[in-house]
Amino acid sequence: MTNNPDQEQSGDLEKEVVPPRPEAGLDFLGDVEVDVRVELGGARLNVQEVLKLASGSVVALDSLVGDPVDLFVNDRLVARGEVLVVKDNFAIRITEVLPKLEK
Q: What string of pLDDT tens digits covers the 103 residues of the chain?
A: 555 555 555 555 666 777 666 666 778 788 899 999 999 999 999 999 999 999 999 999 999 999 999 999 999 999 999 999 999 999 999 999 999 876 6
Query: Do 2 and 9 meet the contact criterion of CB atoms below 8 Å apart?
Result: yes
49 is a domain residue: yes
8 is a domain residue: no
Identify the pLDDT of residue 101: 74
25 is a domain residue: no
Amino acid found at 25: G
26 is a domain residue: no
pTM of the model: 0.64
Identify the pLDDT of residue 102: 63
Identify the pLDDT of residue 41: 94
17 is a domain residue: no
Which residue range(s) make up the domain with 71? 34-103
Identify the pLDDT of residue 26: 76
93 is a domain residue: yes
In 21-102, where do the E strands start and end? 36-39, 69-73, 76-86, 89-97
Identify the pLDDT of residue 67: 94
4 is a domain residue: no
Q: What is the CATH number of the domain that holds 72?
A: 2.30.330.10
Check residue 25 and report its DSSP letter: T
19 is a domain residue: no
Domain count, the chain: 1
